[in-house]
Amino acid sequence: PMMNGIGGDLFALYWDAKTGKLYGLNASGWAPQGLTISHLKAIGATSMPQSGIDTVTVPGAVAGWNTLHERFGRLPWKDIFQTAIFYADEGYPVPELIHGYWEDSVEDLLRDAESRRVFLHNDKPPALGEIFQNHDLAKALRLIAQQGANSFYRGEIAQAILRTSQTLGGTMLEADLAEFAPEWVEPISITYRDWTIYELPPNGQGMAALEMLNIMQTSLASSEGPLSVTELHKKIEAMKLAYADLYRYNADPRSDQVPVKGLLSQSYAKERAKLINPNKAACDVAAGEPPSSDTTYLSVVDREGNIVSLIQSNYAAFGSGITVRGMGFSLQNRGALFSLDPSYPNVLAPHKRPFHTIIPAFMERGNQHIGFGIMGGPNQPLAHAQFVSNVVDYGMNIQAALEAPRFTVSSRRGCNILIESRVKSETLQQLSGMGHQLEVRREYSSAMGRGQAVLHDSHSNVNYGASDARADGSAEPEPPPLK
């Protein structure tokens, strides 16, 4: 419940096997009309809050489900909620990873009376393996199943959201919810070696994964392997360059012009790659000048080869820390990613969508089509690029590509790198000697992101699934059709 829910946002890619077309959906919500810089200054804020009612943006997930269902769904709308309603009502055993996140969130949950009531028992989280029930959430899901998405944006759930916001001094109004609609968008892509890699355009951060891959392919992959000093250094430095551009330019393209075409051009990648010193880590990387022009992920492939790559999130654990009264779900805190600096494209404005971290992905070559995603907040583009390189450059299958040792960043700037202990000690020593400040984590660290992937081979009509050992997920086959 801390990672995603009906109070969060959704992004999806849908591959139509029959037509060979990839569709993109942006179901991320916007800031309330009253959530302005002047409002925050009036309550004494000098920077964007990271939790609480003033970080809440309109939740887009339910509208996203509805939009996907209207275009591609086959089952009756009410039927697709029955399993979720069952588990909300009857409960489920709390798994190990989720239990750890729950324990880490107790302090935040105690700040909100409804969060405390719904998600804690005697001010403590459920024990590992304990059955957790949420009857209020079951009620909300029944309303959505019976009355459609309108119940969330114009009906009983909407009224509960508005009452919660007003009680806590929030700015959400009826029109903020009622006027919201997801947006079909054209996926952005690059060719990496002989594969085509797709991400969604801004306000998500998928363009950083593509820029990083473009920088990486200005040179050949190291023949010494993906965990060699040469290969790791190149990827770390490419990441810094791509992230510098991401945080400088990414924003809601409805409000600001984001130079996606320039950032993803081969010529720009070559210019950025020239900044990489093959023998030394760069600890302060600036954005370039391109030419003008807690999260849950799932990937599904059906027997016809259609693929859904979908990701949802509350952002932080339990989002804003605020639970909607009587409805059993927490509201996201995506507004925390807005800037209050007017010189930045991602500056807060009414009905603007914030910089978003969650990104589904897709890649294809010939008869092979892969839907994948890797949960992990701001580190998702980096994890995507490492997965793609493992598949394309080093011929790994999708399970091996997910489970291979990964590294990630511990801050936006500087040389601080988190890396898994499966990398050889000699390699770590050499990287440290180049100026990389390494923090070695356990063999399979959830800090590196947690991924899922499916592959459909259109020649053999065989589907493959993969699930990351760093998480509680699984790869499950589709049940055979009933006779």
Which residues have a catalytic role annotated?
295
Q: Which secondary structure element, helix H or strand E, spans residue 184, and what is its range?
A: strand 183-185
* DSSP single-letter state for residue 473: -
311, 11 contact by CB (below 8 A): yes
Maximum distance among all alpha carbons in the chain? 65
- Six-digit token string for 272: 């950025």
Q: Which secondary structure element, helix H or strand E, spans residue 71, and what is its range?
A: helix 61-72
With 0-12 / 13-18 / 19 or more C-beta atoms within 10 angstroms meaning exposed / middle / buried, residue 133 is middle
* DSSP single-letter state for residue 291: -
64, 356 contact by CB (below 8 A): no
Considering only CA atoms, which of 250, 270, 273 is closest in space to residue 260? 250
Considering only CA atoms, which of 140, 138, 139, 130 is closest in space to residue 92? 130
Considering only CA atoms, which of 388, 419, 382 is closest in space to residue 401? 388
- At which residue do the structure tokens 């999260």 appear? 295
Bridge-based pairing of strands 368-375 and 295-301 is unpaired
**Crossing angle of helices 229-249 and 380-392, rounded to 10°:** 140
5, 144 contact by CB (below 8 A): no
What DSSP string runs through 350-400? TT----B----EEEEETTEEEEEEEE-GGGHHHHHHHHHHHHHTT---HHH
Cα distance between residue 425 and residue 442, in whole Å: 13
Considering only CA atoms, which of 203, 242, 258 is closest in space to residue 386? 242
238, 388 contact by CB (below 8 A): no
